[in-house]
Amino acid sequence: MKPLRKAAPAFIFFMAAALLVSCEQGRETAPASATEHPSTIAVIGEAADLPPYHLVMAFPSGTVPKDLPAVQEAMNTYVKKKINATVELRPIDWSVWYEETNLMFVSNEPFDLLFTSSWLYLGQEVAKKQIIPLDELLDRYGQGIQAALDPTYIESGKIKGRVYGILTNKEFASTKGIVMRKDLVDKYKIDLTSIKELEDLEPVWKMIKDNEPGIVPLQVKFDRSPLTTLLGYGQFDMLDSGGGPGVLDRSSKELKVVNLYETPAYRRYAELMHKWYKAGYINKDGSLTRQDEFHAVKAGKAFAYAESLKPGFAAHEYRNTGYPMVAVELTKPYTTTGDTTSAMFAISRNSKDPARAMMFLDLLYTDKYLLNLLNWGIENKHYVKVSETIIDYPPGLTATTVGYNLNLPWMFGNQLNSYIWRNEDPDIWEQYINFNNAADKSLALGFIFDPENVKNELAACNNVIRQYTGALNSGEFEPERILPAFNEALRAAGMDKVIREKQRQLDAWAASKLAQH
C-alpha cells in the first residue's frame, strides 16, 4: 500500500530538514571548552573583570508574550551587574523547533543556551557534536546548580560518561490524563470520579457536542492526542532519545524493546481516536494543526485535551487557557529517564563564551529574583505579591490579558524557587517531592540511548513517523487501512536495525548495573 497522498507535503518538508541535518553531520566540529575562552576566568560576582557579552537562550514556546522586550530589558539591567552580560530570549514555536534549531547550527549562528531533553533530540545533539560537554564548566561555575540538584539528577544528564544537559529542578515523574473546562463540568454535573479509563469519556464528549455548539469536545494536534499521551507516554517507556519506534511495555516487567506501532494497545487507542473523529468529538484539523491545544480552549472553541499531569497542573493550565480547569488522572505516577531528563539546558557549540553561559545558568538556580523575572515578568506590572512567596495578577488583569504569560516555570533553573500563584496550593513544592517519591520507577530508569550507530536509520524512521502519525493521532484515517503501510514503511526505513541497537545498548546497560551491585 502506498503512503497517503495527504501526508506527502509534510514528508517533503521533513525530508528537506533531514537533508540539512545530514549535511551538518558530515562536518567534524570539535566541541568548545572553557579553556578555549580565557576571557571568562573570573568567578561569578566579579562582573567588572569580565568583558561585555551577549547571551542568546533558545527554548520552545507556544506563545511569544507581547511584553517580552520589557522583561528582557529588566533582566539585562540585572544580569549586567552580576556577570556583565545581556540576555536575548529566543522563544521558538514547538512546531518548528527541530527545523529552526538545526538551521541555527548549520548556519553557525551564534547562540549559547539550548533547551534539550532526552525526548527532544538530546542523543542526536550529542552525536552531531551540536552541544558541548559541561563537566569542567559545571565544576568551575556551577556551584549553585550542584547545591540545588541531587547528584543523581546531575548524573542523569550524562551521555558516555560526560554531562551534556543541566536538569531543571522540578518534578521527576508524571501521570497522564485529560484536562477540562471546570465551568462546563459543573454545568453538566459531570462525575469525574466515574472516569477511570479513556473510554469512559465518550458520554462526556457526546454531551458537550450535543449541547455546546461551536465547542469541540476534544482538541488534539498533529503530534499530541490521547493516543500519544496516555498510550505512548503512559503505558510505555519511550526510551526517549531521538525518537524512533523502539519502546518498553511497562506491563511486561521485562527489558524487551518492541515496536510501539505494532502493539495491540496502539491499535486499540488508534481505533478509539478514529471512532471519536467520525462522531465529531475531535477537531477536524487535528492532523495538520501545530497550535497547542490550550489556545482553542482559550478562544472558547474547545472543552478538553490530553496532557501529562502533576500536582497543581489544573491551576497551571488556568494561566494558559484563562478558564478554571479540572484534571482527571488516567494513569499512575511513573518515572522514566524521559521524566527525569524532561527539561534541561545545554550549551551550544556555537557559543563564543561557554563559561558565561554556565554562569547565567547557575544564576537561574540560585537567584530567586532573576528566575521569577524570567518566569512571571515584572512585579506590579505582570503580577503582584500577596506574600513573600505567593503572587496574583494585578487588578484588572487576567491570564488572558496580562502582557507577559510565558508560563514555562518547569523549563528554567530551580522551579522550587519560583513564586506560587494564589490559586495554587501553598505547599505545592512539598507535593512535588511526595509525587516524585511515590512514583513507580521504570526498569530502564537512567538509560539513555546513543543513536550514533543507527543515526541514518533513526532519521529515516522519524521521517516516516512524522508522515503517518498526524492522521493516527487525530483519528482522521482508519487504523486498519493505515497501520500496515505505516509499519511497512518503518521496516523499509531501518526500524529493525534501530530496535536491535536499542536492545543491545539496553542489555549492556542492565549488565553494567548488575555488575555494580
Give the model confidence (pLDDT) of 171-222 as tens digits: 888 899 999 999 999 999 999 999 999 999 999 999 999 999 999 999 999 9
Higher pLDDT, 284 or 433: 284
Mean predicted confidence (pLDDT) in 283-294 = 94
pLDDT given for residue 517 in this prediction: 65
CA atoms of 456 and 438, how far apart (whole Å)? 39
pLDDT on residue 231: 74
Is it the case that residue 302 has pLDDT exceeding 70? Answer: yes
pLDDT greater than 60 at residue 1 = no
Mean pLDDT of the chain: 88
- Catalogue the long-range contacts made by 245-249 (C-beta closer than 8 Å, 24 or more residues apart): 245/461, 245/465, 245/490, 245/495, 245/498, 245/499, 246/498, 246/499, 246/502, 246/503, 248/442, 248/443, 248/444
pLDDT band at 238; cut points 50, 70, 90: confident
Per-residue pLDDT band for 138 (boundaries 50, 70, 90) equals very high
pLDDT band of residue 243 (cuts 50, 70, 90) is low
Binned at pLDDT 50, 70 and 90, residue 124 comes out as confident
Contact at 8 Å (CB) between 5 and 468?
Answer: no
Residue 273 has pLDDT above 80, yes or no: yes
Which residues have CB under 8 Å from 479's CB, separation 6+? 267, 270, 271, 274, 472
In degrees, rounded to 5, the angle at the alpha carbon of residue 235 between the alpha carbons of residues 229 and 240 is 70
Say which residue, 45 or 363, is predicted with more confidence.
363
pLDDT bracket for residue 25 (50, 70, 90): very low
Please tell me the predicted confidence (pLDDT) of residue 240.
Answer: 65
Q: Residue 38: what pLDDT?
A: 34
> 3-class SS at 459?
helix
Task: Reply yes or no on whether the pLDDT at 4 is more than 90.
Answer: no
pLDDT at 515: 79
**Region of residue 300 (left: phi > 0; alpha: psi -120 to 50; beta: else):** left
Neighbours of 487 (CB within 10 A): 17
C-alpha span between 310 and 410 (Å, rounded) = 11
Q: Do the Cβ atoms of 444 and 506 come closer than 8 Å?
A: yes
- pLDDT tens-digit readout, 326-346: 999 999 898 888 888 889 999
In Å, how far are 33, 40, 351 from 37, measured between CA atoms?
A: 7, 6, 10
* pLDDT at residue 118 greater than cutoff 50: yes
Give the pLDDT score at 242.
60
DSSP at 38: T
d(CA 379, CA 359): 24
Say which amino acid occupies 411: M
Q: Give, as one character, the DSSP assignment of residue 172.
A: -
The whole-number pLDDT of residue 402 equals 96
What's the DSSP call for residue 387? S
- Mean pLDDT of the 83-105 span: 95
Mean pLDDT, range 477-492, rounded to an integer: 96
Confidence of residue 5 (pLDDT cuts 50, 70, 90): very low
The predicted pLDDT at position 134 comes to 97
3-state SS, residue 114: strand
